[in-house]
Amino acid sequence: DIQMTQSPSSLSASVGDRVTITCQASQDISKYLNWYQQKPGKAPKVLIYDASNLETGVPSRFSGSGSGTDFTFTISSLQPEDIATYYCQQYDNLLSFGGGTKVEIK
């Protein structure tokens, strides 16, 4: 099974800050990684698919990069509506998720 190590588990940043979350796979997953945003009581919403593709309708302040085992998710300028928990997910070999990153406003 592929293990996804996501960090940090939580962070606090100011509005306008650049926020970065990383996800490391226990083996090569090529580009088969998605990033999700989840707000309380809601289903996860896909933001980035295949490591770097921005889902239609998602603001351009969200971006993703990486391939192989190391991936990065970035919010270029944190907004109040970005308060949520973010998850990475690999689908190269079955499925597995990172543990999540809870993003709060400082």
Chain residues binding other proteins by CB under 8 A are 34, 36, 43-46, 49-50, 53, 55, 87, 89, 91, 94-97, 99-100
> Which residue, 15 or 95, is less far from other proteins as judged by CB?
95
Shortest spacing between CB 15 and other proteins, in angstroms? 26
Shortest spacing between CB 55 and other proteins, in angstroms? 6
> Which residue, 77 or 104, is less far from other proteins as judged by CB?
104
> Which residue, 78 or 89, is less far from other proteins as judged by CB?
89
Structure tokens at 50: 């295949």
Shortest spacing between CB 65 and other proteins, in angstroms? 17
**In what order do the strands lie in the sheet containing 62-67?**
4-7, 19-25, 70-75, 62-67
Contact criterion met (CB below 8 Å) for 7 and 101: yes
Backbone phi, psi, residue 81, to 5°: -75, -5
Contact criterion met (CB below 8 Å) for 56 and 49: no
